[in-house]
Amino acid sequence: MTEEQRLAWEKQQGFTSFATKSNEVYSHVAGKELSVDELKKEIVQYDNLLSLKSDNNSEFVLEHALESTPKRFLCNSDRIFKIGNTLYKVFEDNIVMCNEKHYATLLLLNETNYTQALNDEIQVMFSNSELKDDDYKIIPDNMFTLPKGKRFLLERRNDNGSNRIRIRVGFDVINNSNSEIKGFDQNGTLWCEARPYKRVLGVWYTTTRTISCSFEIIVDFTRSIEFTNGNGAWERSRTYDYGDIVKKDVLGQTFGIYQVQYSNRILGPNENDFLKEVHFAALKCRASTPDTGEAQLYYNTHLIN
């Protein structure tokens, strides 16, 4: 689905996603081309939608909040979405889950206080924060999701003066309560993205450039023991690929990798035996603009035809 199709779908549904709201505010703020001190003051009112982060060489980058998870397209401007009678609120490093009767409480939670509100009825989805190679030191071979679900993210970039191209490849898992089977569904989602930036007064902003990108990705995942007689064998995915050359502020694709169910009615194996572990088997990803060289993310490329 293209950005134009996504916006048309939202309009048809009478729904405005967090991503759409964040994009609108980002364009408004970036258009002012403020100094760092001015920008820090400006975004206080938008702290739910934007984030100003430190970059290399004492510079800063203005990011969309939740840009490391595709859930930003599912949740509303309050960061909430609903599946069945369960509500989910999305944060940078986790997702809070609760019954719909706790909606008022969920509205009050933010990045600062949500961990203090956790109890038997308000829980987090991930037992650990996402893995992200900010220092480019994480080896893809060592990046595994946990059975209970986890996000991880790989990033590379190429800077040329005041121009930048950044690529990301991520994996996102969500567990949905399923009252019909008295258990839950687990969905694994792979995504990739290429995004250009420009630097103005010491701040990197998303911008529009002609992006040339190519992503080829293979993942390994364990099969549920119900299909492997208890062995939990590893299975290799097909090559997920995406590529384009177009003038935009971001290019990318999201792929559904798997769905698996666990029911509390089943005797014998525990729930972790029905959930999957995932890691990257091979990556051949690159992106560039006319103003930059290539940002590359290569790993085990011999596995990709």
The DSSP code sequence of 213-271 is EEEEEEEEEEPPGGGTTT---EEE---EEEEEEEEES-EEEEEEEEEEEEETT--SS-G
In 3D, which of 76, 224, 85 has the Cα closest to residue 147? 224
Band of pLDDT at residue 205, cut at 50, 70 and 90: very high
The residue length of the chain stands at 305
Cα–Cα distance for residue pair 222/200, rounded to 1 Å: 46
Cα–Cα distance for residue pair 26/29, rounded to 1 Å: 5
In 3D, which of 129, 133, 105 has the Cα closest to residue 119? 105
This prediction has a pTM of 0.77
State mean pLDDT over 172-193. Answer: 71
Candidate from 34-48, 58-72, 149-163 with smallest mean pLDDT: 149-163
- Give pairs for 86-91: CB < 8 Å, separation 24+: 86/176, 86/177, 88/125, 88/174, 89/114, 90/18, 90/66, 91/66
Candidate from 75-79, 80-84, 257-261, 265-269 with smallest mean pLDDT: 265-269
State mean pLDDT over 108-113. Answer: 92
Flag whether pLDDT at 213 surpasses 90: yes
Residue recorded with tokens 């408004």: 28
Terminal CA-CA length for the chain:
26
Most confident of 100-104, 120-124, 254-258: 100-104
pLDDT on residue 254: 85
Cα–Cα distance for residue pair 66/79, rounded to 1 Å: 9
- Token representation of residue 256: 């559904």
Flag whether pLDDT at 142 surpasses 70: no
11-21 pLDDT per residue, tens: 998 999 999 99
Candidate from 47-61, 81-95, 152-166, 182-196 with smallest mean pLDDT: 182-196
Q: How far is CA 294 from CA 84, 117, 135, in A?
A: 43, 44, 19
Average pLDDT score, the chain: 81
State mean pLDDT over 205-228. Answer: 81
pLDDT on residue 231: 54
Band of pLDDT at residue 212, cut at 50, 70 and 90: very high
Candidate from 100-109, 122-131, 134-143, 210-219 with smallest mean pLDDT: 134-143
Residues 6 or more apart whose CB falls under 8 angstroms from that of 60 comprise 36, 39, 52, 53, 54, 202, 203, 204
Q: How far is CA 274 from CA 46, 99, 232, in A?
A: 41, 24, 9
Asked if residues 200 and 33 have their Cβ atoms less than 8 Å apart, the reply is: yes
- Token representation of residue 96: 């809070």
Candidate from 38-52, 123-137, 243-257 with smallest mean pLDDT: 123-137
Pairing of strands 163-178, 131-132: unpaired
Flag whether pLDDT at 146 surpasses 60: no
Cα–Cα distance for residue pair 263/97, rounded to 1 Å: 18
Cα–Cα distance for residue pair 300/178, rounded to 1 Å: 37
- Token representation of residue 187: 């969905």
Cα–Cα distance for residue pair 216/305, rounded to 1 Å: 10
Cα–Cα distance for residue pair 304/297, rounded to 1 Å: 13
State mean pLDDT over 104-132. Answer: 80
271-283 pLDDT per residue, tens: 444 456 677 888 9
Cα–Cα distance for residue pair 20/180, rounded to 1 Å: 33
